Amino acid sequence: MEFNQQDNQQNSIISVSDETISLSHTSLSTPCFVSTNYHTEMVEMTLKQLDKMTLFPLVSKDDIDILIVGTGAAGQFLNPQQQVAIQQMGIGVETMSTDSACRSFNLLLSDVRRVGLLLL
């Protein structure tokens, strides 16, 4: 899937495939984390492993209010304990398919929201 939005000031997503995403200035393999001013590839991570300890090093690099989690071709859900733990960090969280997550990330980024994207 290809996107049209391009802003060299931010980490907007240009295209996404099953294993990589292209930002305006680099490409990343999944799993990865992207926020307004920070991006990194990660070691293998699954939705079940998502908790405060795995998120803290990522969200501390760039202040975010909303975390969008891309879960692959089909959307999956966090369990209630995971949702509560992330919300206790002061971060709203949504899970959806990777394509939808990338579109939502670009939309919120263009709206100058403090958003993070975690692609699993």
pLDDT digits (tens, 9 = 90+) for 83-107: 999 999 999 999 999 999 999 999 9
Residue 8 lies in a domain: no
- Indicate the SS3 state at residue 11: coil
Residue 56 lies in a domain: yes
Residue 63 lies in a domain: yes
Strand partners, 23: 13
Q: Which whole number is the average pLDDT over 41-57? A: 90
Residue 35 lies in a domain: yes
Q: What is the pLDDT of residue 1?
A: 53
Residue 7 lies in a domain: no
Q: Whole domain around residue 110: which residue ranges? A: 13-119
Residue 4 lies in a domain: no
Q: What is the pLDDT of residue 9?
A: 54
pLDDT digits (tens, 9 = 90+) for 63-82: 899 999 999 888 899 999 99
CB 70 within 8 A of CB 102: yes
Residue 5 lies in a domain: no
Question: What CATH number has the domain bearing residue 74?
Answer: 3.40.1230.10
* Burial bucket for residue 109 (CB in 10 Å: 0-12, 13-18, 19+): buried
Domains: count for the chain: 1
Give the strand order in the sheet containing 27-29.
Answer: 13-16, 20-23, 27-29
How far apart are the C-alpha atoms of 1 and 62, rounded to whole Å?
26
Residue 3 lies in a domain: no
Q: What is the pLDDT of residue 95?
A: 96
pTM over 0.75: yes
